[in-house]
Structure 1
Amino acid sequence: MDDELRNELLDAVHGKGAFRHFKDTIRYRGIEDAWQRFRDAALAAIARSWLERNEIAYTEA
């Protein structure tokens, strides 16, 4: 990720309406699909970690 994009995204997540600004920015920059893939992978990792810490068996879908 380039510095310009990084700074633009950081600016988008501050202040009132941050979620909307972030979504608008990723759409404008054409990285919405990449963001969704990153988000999905991050959430899956969090879920796996929690399941493992609590010794709960799971299968990958």
Structure 2
Amino acid sequence: MEEVIWTLKGEKADKLECAIRGRGAFRRFKDMVDGMGISQQWYDFQAECYRKLAIQWCREHGLEYAEGSM
């Protein structure tokens, strides 16, 4: 969540940064992202992070990573 906040600027970034502090942080973050109309941006960012992790894991285990849907 912090990494996506770093890609934003201004009031959106400030509000989201406050939202992720303390208990219930993910729910507050998700609600604010929805309210700001940037849900798709969040999901795209999250998917790209998962893709990078998968590529790294494959390399570390000597496997070839192939793009594509299952």
TM-score, normalization by structure 1: 0.90
One-letter amino acid matched to 1:50: W
CA distance in 2 between partners of 1:20 and 1:47 (Å): 26
Which of 37, 42, 49 is 2:44 aligned to? 37
TM-score, normalization by structure 2: 0.79
One-letter amino acid matched to 2:30: K
Q: What count of residue pairs does the alignment treat as equivalent?
A: 61
Tell me which of the two structures has the higher relative contact order, counting C-alpha pairs closer than 8 angstroms and 6 or more residues apart. 2
Name 1:14's counterpart in structure 2. 21
Which moves more between the two structures, 48-57 or 28-37? 48-57
For structure 1, the 5+ residue unaligned runs are: none
One-letter amino acid matched to 1:6: A
Residues 12-41 of structure 1 deviation map (CA, whole Å, 9 limit, x = unaligned) = 111111111000000010000110001001
For structure 2, the 5+ residue unaligned runs are: 1-7
